[in-house]
Amino acid sequence: MIWQLQVLEEITTKTYPLTQSDHELIASALEVLEKNFDDGVYNHTVGGAIRCKNGNIYLGVNCDGIHGSCAEYIAIGAAITAGEREFDTIVATHDKALNGLLPPCGNCRQMLFNYCPDVKVILNDEHGTPVKVDVQDLLPLAYTRIIVSE
């Protein structure tokens, strides 16, 4: 049996330039990582920050373990716990990553798509330039929940 990969169409991603408040969000995520960095016992190596549409910022660090949680999950959990439901921009950082930026993992992409499908994600583009993208562009053909009403 021979498998052939066929490209149906080119997927393009719209990018947005970073604003001053985006740079401040990155700085907040790097700061929470610096304050909590631990590559030993707890393995806190990623810092996350989410800005809500009202301007409030919530922070998180990854929690390593058997069922570890990414920094993005922790930051969104903090925001939701505080009653937030409208999200603007999110970022994940690592001190040794290019520009300090990490793209979200597959699980985080799906979670972001479910909880905040209009959120922008700060990451590096294919040239290493920091940009914002729509989370929907990071997860083409995403799984969506189907709610069956009776």
At residue 127, the 3 state secondary structure works out as: coil
* 97 DSSP 8-state letter: S
Query: What is the end-to-end Cα distance of the chain in Å, rounded?
Result: 45
Tell me the two tokens of residue 138. Answer: 């990071």
- The catalytically annotated residue of 10, 24, 31, 72 is 72
Handedness of CA 50, 51, 56, 57 (dihedral sign): positive
Q: Count CB-CB contacts under 10 A for residue 127.
A: 6
Told to judge if 126 belongs to the known catalytic residues of this protein, a careful annotator would answer: no
Active-site positions? Answer: 72
